[in-house]
Structure 1
């Protein structure tokens, strides 16, 4: 066998490994194709290394062994990326995604793994290739790849692989799913159809943003995601993502949908009821109807963990798809729980608000003072001709009665009250998912301005997060006695050295071996 440089009609050069048998030449393997001289030289080196793997020369190996004591940094390779995260990339099903171009699959995989080891700018990939692959990759090539990466069918294939993997580790049953929305801002002040200035959960009020809706299991394992315009009301995203979720995966046994109070609006409840979904939605008791508040005020909450249940027959008014007014009769349960810690917080918030209002009352309040003010609910308008405001002691007393009480609305009458509460409280893992995406993987701020690149950025982060969660799951099951974040440092220092037959791993230390065993041992899901 030998290495051949083949010139193509396009002007590029293909590097191939050729075998000759009975006078006939056969392409054994195509290493790659490029029109860049530097890349061609790299492909030739790669081809010669591959040739030694396919047809090892004993004399070359003996010569290398004799020189083994003279190893230099040029002979060393960092192998932890491929050894650990490359394995998990395959485990969650991403290895099977068809990119048609093998080089595109390599760049996709490298972008995903580099985000785990070197989170931040895509241009970190240049450093990643240099350190881990001993190769050079041009900046323009990264951006060209990002331009063509995001396609609806590709996103669907990625989500299906990850959904199937999540379903497998959940014993093929998704009984409960959690939905939440976060905002991701841009280091730019320019808006477009996708990047819009809207309500920011991160306080970036003057920055354009997008919204990311994420479906996960209650353990935080990813199921699906969608990207929305930055100024879209988050409560209007639930129906859209549920419809897409159902169409993509054709789920027969629909999971219980758990979401925060931002999703508690009539349209969402009507959709969930009419489409056979059970739901658990958080409800802020102090914002409910006076009738419900009166019922709750008459209940006794002596200790933490006390639970009460109220049955609610509710008539919901809404407009159907033809804009015709309709009503829906619903039966719900309101699960109520008490926390003394939450009660102290509620009291502190109210006391601070009253301090502010009393200071303002001495100077005479105007209507403009009441806009979006927490304390407005404590005021009455004086009946005199001049508009003046005064504190209403009854409103303050009624508010005090609801301190520390949290509510959950559900249409599920089978779950026990403590199960309803436990399901919702597991949202911490989903919120942790957003924290991981925003901090550990540095999903924000986003520097891209082209829509396809923005969506490619989110897709890469979704896959990286999926690998992160699978890595976390396996490490936890193995009970390795080390802080989780430090595992990444141990992976970065897994080394091997180049030989004519490939890369030979160096002996691992105790922790590295435990990490390796956690990833490669056969585990029950």
Structure 2
């Protein structure tokens, strides 16, 4: 695998771009196959790209430095008079200035190019009369969301000027303002479907992803402000425990490895179960109708949804409401369980009424957790009932029955997980001043069922040729979707949303989706490099690598500026070596701060 230089003309201008190419043999001789489009690479990334080609190819013997000669000299350096290789320096004039963040943005740009997003946006966003190409602005917004997620105002005021991106991308600090950033959201939003299709194709090329099994889940993210200009901003069930705020719901489809494939934004008051049909149709419209397997939790399940998937010749593996367990009581009592993992047992039960299969699952850890929860809520109810019973015995005047019933109802409602364990009745008793006494008892049948079913759950599928072990392992991959939501909300800070207009909110979510694509690509890259899955840890370590400008005065009174990258320490060198990346030593060539001919005129 190697990097290939290509040229093309667009709008009367010649562009040089690069492809990651592998060689293969045919009956007619060797041929080249394009693995990835790398776009117009920036010179400061050149050392990492040659090693990246080797990393993806698995060939560590290639010498990265041999590839460095292929890259063009930056246009600015061509225009300026070169600095001699040897020159006499006045040591008293040496200064180190303009220390900027480099390692984290270098990593993000590497991932941006790896996913071919530079070439995609360069082709998808037409070049007009704008000062800065929209493709570069899209890159800046995505890198900002990946590296230091915050508002567009923060990108303008603080973040961008602290990074070396102005040198790496050639976009001056003053050109990155909130107006241009907001308009970038508007420019990129119409490309949502094309972006999803591009990422699917690119990830399939890089990581050999399987797209036949899709995991689907829904989350919500809330607004700061009333968002009156956004009809999708509604109050509903908040996963963020912010019922005081309006929200939107986000339905996300990921692959079995957790790579984001597609998403849709729904109104904040829309129930999960009503989103399934729309998402299935969206995936079919993009990638055709196929025998896909949909994995969803019980919040998505309805008979209509399952019938719809069957009508589309699809398959499903879903969780079921807990009440359905009661129909399988006898199977829970039987001992023919199969251990699929330490502490996890499963058994398969064929449905007598349809071609569906049910998978009973029993988890020891989940059993202990549910036992503790039931005991906690049962203790609360018992304490509350004893308090009511004592109050009635001590009452000195008649009590209002309606108020007593509401008090009991609140007690049961606040501890609903164990409310079935108790039965409570108010009995009229003229011998008491309050007029009532409380009669309550524990329900032995509920206790027996609770002990039997604790730690158990039920899966439902129309797959007929799968072992229960495989079905269970497939279903628990839904935790990957939950991991995506956690990353989006914590590491990439998709919440809260400050935008008030619908299209700006949609753009904000799209760039969060792009940033997570970079995040997940890096996670897969780390796993294949033996570095685990701790993206943030590696990111923070590389973020300590800076770039600085070294300013040198010559014996002739002239000034030279050299933009250098700090040397990585031992821990950073280990990470870079495992990832197959080499940092550039400099950003471009040494430059005169002022042209020598102009100095002579002064």
Measure the CA separation in 1 of the matches of 2:251 and 2:468.
27
Q: Distance in 2 between matches of 1:70 and 1:216?
A: 56
Distance in 1 separating the partners of 2:372 and 2:282: 43
For residues 486 and 309 of structure 1, do their structure 2 counterparts lie closer, same or farther at Cα, with a shift above 3 Å needed?
closer
Residues 270-320 of structure 1 show CA distances to partners (whole Å, capped at 9, x for unaligned) of: 111111222111234x41164333543455669833322111144xxxxxx
Q: Distance in 2 between matches of 1:280 and 1:461?
A: 28
Q: Is the 8 A contact 2:530 2:578 kept in 1?
A: no
2:329 is the alignment partner of 1:293: yes
Alpha-carbon distance, 1:129 to partner: 2.1
Give the counterpart of 1:103 among 102, 127, 133.
133
Does 1:393 pair with 2:430? no
For 2:214, the equivalent position in structure 1 comes to: 177
Unaligned runs of 5+ in 2: 1-11, 16-72, 167-171, 389-403, 429-435, 551-559, 583-602
Shift in CA distance, 390/169, structure 1 to aligned 2, threshold 3 Å: farther
Deviation at 1:230, TM superposition (A): 0.6
Which of 486, 489, 494 is matched with 1:435 structurally? Answer: 486
Aligned mate of 2:365, from 334, 338, 341: 341
Contact 1:332 1:410 in 2 (8 A): yes
How far did residue 149 of structure 1 move?
3.4
Match of 2:159 in 1: 128
Counterpart for residue 449 of structure 1: 500
The change in CA–CA distance for 1:82 and 1:339 in structure 2 (over 3 A counts) is closer
Taking structure 1 as reference, are residues 401 and 504 closer, same or farther at Cα in structure 2, changes over 3 Å only?
same
| CA shift digits 1:121-178 (9 cap, x unpaired) | 2222122321222612222332333344322xx0011111211123234525323221
3-state secondary structure, aligned to 1:306: strand
The separation in 1 between residues aligned to 2:90 and 2:153, in whole angstroms, is 36
Structure 2 counterparts to residues 230-379 of structure 1, below 5 A: 230-250=268-288, 252=290, 254-284=291-321, 286-288=322-324, 290-298=326-334, 304-314=343-353, 330-362=354-386, 363=388, 365-366=405-406, 368-369=409-410, 373-378=416-421
Match of 2:193 among 136, 142, 156: 156
Aligned pair partner of 2:77 in 40, 50, 53: 53
Mapping 1:382-421, distance limit 5 Å:
391-421=442-472
Closer/same/farther in 2, CA of residues 248 and 301 from structure 1, 3 Å limit: closer
d(CA) in 1 for partners of 2:327, 2:233: 42
After TM superposition, give the deviation of residue 389 of structure 1 in Å: 6.9
Alignment partners' CA distance in 1, 2:178 and 2:349: 60
1:358–1:103 CA distance, 2 compared to 1 (3 A): same
Structure 1 range deviating more: 296-305 or 445-454: 296-305
Q: Report the Cα distance in structure 2 between the residues aligned to 1:264 and 1:452, rounded to whole angstroms.
A: 30
In structure 2, the residue corresponding to 1:435 is in which secondary structure?
A: helix
1:426 maps onto 2:477 in alignment: yes
- Is the alpha carbon distance of 1:354 and 1:278 closer, same or farther for their aligned partners in structure 2, counting shifts above 3 Å? same
TM-score normalized with structure 2 length: 0.68
Deviations 1:208-228 (A, max 9, x none): 111111111122111111111
Q: Distance in 1 between matches of 2:201 and 2:533?
A: 30
Query: What is the Cα deviation at residue 458 of structure 1?
Result: 0.6
Structure 1 residues 61 and 457, CA gap change in structure 2 (3 angstroms): farther
Q: 2:234 aligns with which of 170, 185, 196?
A: 196
CA shift in 2, pair 1:165/1:50, >3 Å: closer
* Candidates 181, 198, 205, aligned match of 2:243: 205
- Aligned counterparts of 1:333 and 1:441: Cα–Cα separation in 2: 39
Question: Take 2:445 and 2:574, find their aligned partners in 1: how far apart are those partners?
Answer: 63
Match of 1:84 in 2: 107
User: In the alignment, is the contact (CA less than 8 A) between 2:209 and 2:257 conserved in 1?
Assistant: no
Distance 1:164 1:399, change over 3 A: same
How many angstroms apart in 1 are the aligned matches of 2:262 and 2:543?
30
Partner Cα distance (2:546, 2:140) in 1: 18
User: What residue is the counterpart of 2:518 in the other structure?
Assistant: 467
Q: Give the superposition deviation at 1:427.
A: 2.2
Q: Which runs of 5+ in 1 are unaligned?
A: 1-25, 30-48, 315-329
Q: Which of structures 1 and 2 has the bigger CA Rg?
A: 2
Deviation digits for residues 359-401 of structure 1 (CA, Å, limit 9, x no counterpart): 4445364484355833443456879999987543212212221
Q: How many residues align?
A: 458
Change (3 A) 1:483 1:338: closer
The separation in 2 between residues aligned to 1:63 and 1:145, in whole angstroms, is 45
